[in-house]
Amino acid sequence: MMPRTALLVCGILSSLVYAFTDILAALSWEGYHYASQAVSELSAVGAPTRPYVLPSMVAYDLLVIAFGFGVRSSAGASHALRTTGACLIVIGLVGLAAILFPMHLRGAGRTFSDTMHIVLTAVTVLCIVAAIGTSARAFGKTFRLYAIATILILVVFGVLTGLDGPRVGANLPTPFLGITERINIGAYLLWTTVLALLLLGTRAAGRDADTGPAETVIRRG
C-alpha cells in the first residue's frame, strides 16, 4: 500500500512545486509583471530566473509522471481512471521534452525552439483536457460536475491566453496574459490535488483496487 500511496501524494506535491516555483520566481525577477507576463517567460532563454526554474520544472514533471502511475495502480477495474493515469504520464513526458525547446524572451524573434514550445504546449493542453474528461467518467456526480466545470474554465481562459500568444512574439502589450494563463494552470493544479486527495481517501477507507473498482465505491457517495 505504501508505494502506491506515495505515488498518489506525488500529485499533491506536483501542484505545490509548480505553484511555489511560479510565485517565488516571479518575485525574484525585478521588473517581471505577474499579471501581464506568461509563466513560460520565467524559464525563457535569457531570463534571470531560468537557472533555478528549470530544475523545479523537471521535478514537477517527474512528480506528475509518478502520480500518473499512482492513478493507474489505483484504478482497479476502472478503464476511465487507467486512461486518466496514462494521460498524466504523457503530460509529464511532454513537459520534460518541452524543456529542450524553451521560448525566447519577448522581442527576440521566433525560432524553431519557440515553435516546438508552442506545439508541445498544445499537446499538453489536449492531454490535460483528456485526463480531466476521463476522470469525470470514473467518479460520482459531484466530481463529474466539478471536472466539467474545470474543462469549461480551461476552454474559456485557454482561448483568451491563445489570443495573446502572437502578441508575445511581436513584443506587444499583453495586459491580462498572466492572469488568464494562471487561471488555466490553477484550475488544472487544483483538479490534480482534488483527484489525489480523492484517491487517497478511498485508499484510507480500504476501498481501492484491492477490494473493488474505485469508480463504483466513489459513486456511492
Grid cell 518575485 is found at 27
What is the reported pTM?
0.89
Distances (CA, A) of 162 to 110, 121, 159, 165, 166: 16, 11, 5, 5, 8
Nearest to 121 by CA among 12, 25, 40: 40
- pLDDT score recorded for residue 219: 43
User: What mean pLDDT comes out for the span 55-65?
Assistant: 97
Q: Higher model confidence: residue 108 or residue 95?
A: 95
User: What mean pLDDT comes out for the span 108-126?
Assistant: 90
CA 147 – CA 204 distance, rounded (Å): 23
- pLDDT score recorded for residue 218: 43
Asked whether residue 25 carries a pLDDT value surpassing 50, the answer given is: yes
- pLDDT score recorded for residue 205: 57
171 φ, ψ (degrees, to nearest 5): 60, 40
- pLDDT score recorded for residue 170: 83
Contact 80, 90 (CB under 8 A): no
Asked whether residue 206 carries a pLDDT value surpassing 60, the answer given is: no
